[in-house]
Structure 1
Amino acid sequence: MKLYPLKFAPIYKYRIWGGEKLKTELNKNYSEENIGESWEISDVSGDETVVAGGDLEGKSLRDLTNEFKGDFVGNAVYEKFGEEFPLLIKFIDAKTPLSIQVHPNNEVAKERHNSFGKNEMWYVMQADKDAELIVGFDEKIDAEGYKTHLANNTILEVMHHEIVNKGDTFYIPTGRVHAIGAGVLLAEIQQTSNITYRIYDYDRVDAKTGEKRELHSDMAMDVLDYEVHSNYKTEYDLEKNVSNKLVYSPYFRTNILDINTTIDKDYSEIDSFVIYMCVEGSVDLISKGKTYTINTGETLLLPAAIKTIQLKAANAKVLEVYY
């Protein structure tokens, strides 16, 4: 059985803050209410996405890595991670704000939860007027100040609030406090991890459980980066029909392509799978004479063994992600 460009069946997640934009803006197909996340490519235990379409339909990421090894993920990736797929790919719709939260690094996550840490990035696909993200601190505090602000319900006052627009990009390293504000639809690329420390949740009660959600304020205290940084947003170029560098980290590399013609891509220098997230328009990926279409809000994985493809679009923006 041969590898080919793969789409996966998304897993939809109820969230207390979820809305309808995954359906109305990204044409996702589900009937539940308050769906906040579409997990596009996931190897999280119990939430493994499976291939949709073709000879490999129904196989999970773990199945594919087990069967094809380096041909699927790349030899270097396979040597480092074995059968654990290193990235989790999502679209997120926040109708109301997410909790104020932070993620632990690899070392703490391994020790406390036997998990990877959670470095992540956001690319804003749509934002309502004056919608904002909270990223990092605007005022220098320490662990004692953190505890005082939590006790006084004033933690939001020392955080950096940024009004966002389509195309805005943020890298969220572990330790950086953050939250997606109401009215933001975004693409999220992260390490395969589901470890989140909630610091503050607006005293909300979850309608499904009738309870407030658990907070992890103490666990968060010793992983937080209390430093104030001069800029939290990622600046980038947007030249047509080339891979423009967006976020390069030790955990993933992401480019953005703004395509209005046919372009040839050669990945022989990259020892990794490549993931495409279509964030605007529609793009055709042509591999071995066959065309695979990716529309806004769709994701496709190119196995590492496939080195040359064409991308064709009249007007599309695509995130290009690899290890």
Structure 2
Amino acid sequence: MLNFLPSIVICFFSFCLYIINTLFWLIPIIVFSLLKALIPLKASRTVFSYLLDQMASNWVAVNTLNQKLFYRVDIEVEGLNNLSMREWYLVLCNHQSWVDILILQRVLHGKIPFLKFFLKKELIYVPFLGIAWWALDFPFMKRHSQAFLKKNPHLKGEDIKTTRKSCEKFKYKPVSVMSFIEGTRFTPEKHKKQNSPYQNLLKPKAGGIGFVLDAMGEHLTKIVNITIVYPERIPSFYDFACGNVKKVKVKIETSDVSDELKGDYFNDRAFKISFQKYVNQMWEDKDKTFSLLRDKD
């Protein structure tokens, strides 16, 4: 542990290690991504997928080592015992800071399959990163707005079909799909502007989860509901990299993806209302959990 060093020194060296670690793994990930794209054999692509996931997992492991080397952060975690590397998960979490991602990667590493995020289909064209995300099997989604569908009714349902096709690979390989369903990071200003009914959270966007479950419902078996609390204050990445985050509380609750959560969210009004009630109740319970974790000694 080098946490005895001055804060600015810790920040410099830890940030440098983050960059070195990222570049070290990004280069082979891009090389193997190109090989995966150029060799169209199913068997070779499967092998490349596992190798690429392992590289990404190693990147997370070294980031965690970096944190343990420079910071003394106490992470209290509840609920890890119910997780497995052999399940298909939808991971839902409140969102306060970019630090959330580092905390999630750290506490879930080796407990569930490597976290993947749903990305807009257009992001596949981002230089280098697009091919890397594709090779790492990040699911790409294509969503049309209601205004677009009114002008082009013949394309209704095409977005779900496209996304389902991109998710077919998950039939045979366990996956964890991550979603911050508030859609943005929490700030007091956003909370006030939304007139959020929750004390500690922004309003959840049920449509995003409805889309994911509609596209991947047959591939997902468990929901991992995670609440992250920073008892002192919401940190920035700079705060975290400087070792100024002393405590984080994480509660993990796991449940089955029941049949009542499977349906046509966008065309079945009764199901949509029922699903929104489920999400709102989950967020109300999460708000209470947040308060309990924050106020607990």
State whether TM-score is above 0.5: no
More strand by share: 1
More helix by share: 2
Which structure is richer in relative contact order (CA contacts within 8 A, separation 6 or more)? 2
TM-score between the two structures when normalised by the length of structure 2: 0.23
TM-score between the two structures when normalised by the length of structure 1: 0.22
